[in-house]
Amino acid sequence: MHYKYLHRSSFIKDGLWLLAINGLLFAIFAHYDVLELIVDVVEKYEHLELDELLPLGVTLTFSLLVFVYRRLQELGHVTQAFEELAKQDPLTHALNRRAGQALLNRFINNAEQYGQGFSVVQLNLDNFKRINDAYGPSIGDDILINLVKIIQQYIEQDSQLIHWHSDNFLLILPSKVAAPYEFANSLKETIAQQLFTTDTITCSMGLSTWRKGMPLQYLLHQVEDALLDAKAAGKNTVKIA
């Protein structure tokens, strides 16, 4: 069962309420000797076979527990599926901006706590508006989809790709990527070789490495400034903040 989809505070509150109610009922049952009363009624009306209701109550209780457990399992699977959809960009199926911001905060928290540094690359296609205008938005969509496929095939599993907005993407590189600048340059060349229609499509990249105490917004400003420097330098290049 997907316990992470249960709201912990409400789960504990409901559990305490059920415990209190059942404790009260136990006290009432003990005070009035309810079991003895049931036995007396069963013996008095033995011809009605009321004694068969006791094992039936046990089996019904067990069946109800199994039913509730199965429904909770299904609810967990459905919730997980919706959560995954909520994290994805509907066009490219990369992580969307909201999921990306949460992921970046997690990387920063891990970096602050465990010293696990990382780098961020902001990637932007060169002259994408001209391509969109020349070939139409459906071709533009296909280019973005293929771009994501190329990047996901190139990066390692620990790296994360985020569709930030339009034709802007963020790439989070963990500390195990020892040479992020060389990695970004190699990825840039791969994109130029594999992503094309009738024109060769290039991209520009800005790179920034997180440093201790650096807040997320400052890191994002740094990588965006580096991307602007790459555009100003003639595009199809990588610049470091």
The pLDDT assigned to 33 comes to: 81
Alpha-carbon span 241 to 229, nearest angstrom = 9
- Mean pLDDT along residues 172-180: 93
- 181 or 27: whose pLDDT is higher? 181
| pTM for this entry | 0.71
Neighbours of 104 (CB within 10 A): 20
What are the contacts of 165-169 at 24+ separation with CB within 8 A?
A: 165/97, 166/128, 167/124, 167/125, 167/128, 168/122, 168/123, 168/124, 169/94, 169/122, 169/123, 169/124
* Mean pLDDT value across the chain: 87
DSSP 55-89: HHHHHHHHHHHHHHHHHHHHHHHHHHHHHHHHHB-
Least confident of 42-51, 52-61, 230-239: 42-51
For the chain, give every domain's residue range. 3-87, 97-240
Report whether CATH 1.10.3470.10 matches the domain 97-240. Answer: no
User: Could you read off the pLDDT of 64-77 as tens digits, one per residue?
Assistant: 888 888 887 887 77
Q: Alpha-carbon distance 148 to 171, whole Å?
A: 11
Q: Evaluate if residue 2 carries a pLDDT over 60.
A: no
CA nearest to 172, candidates 203, 208, 125, 133: 208
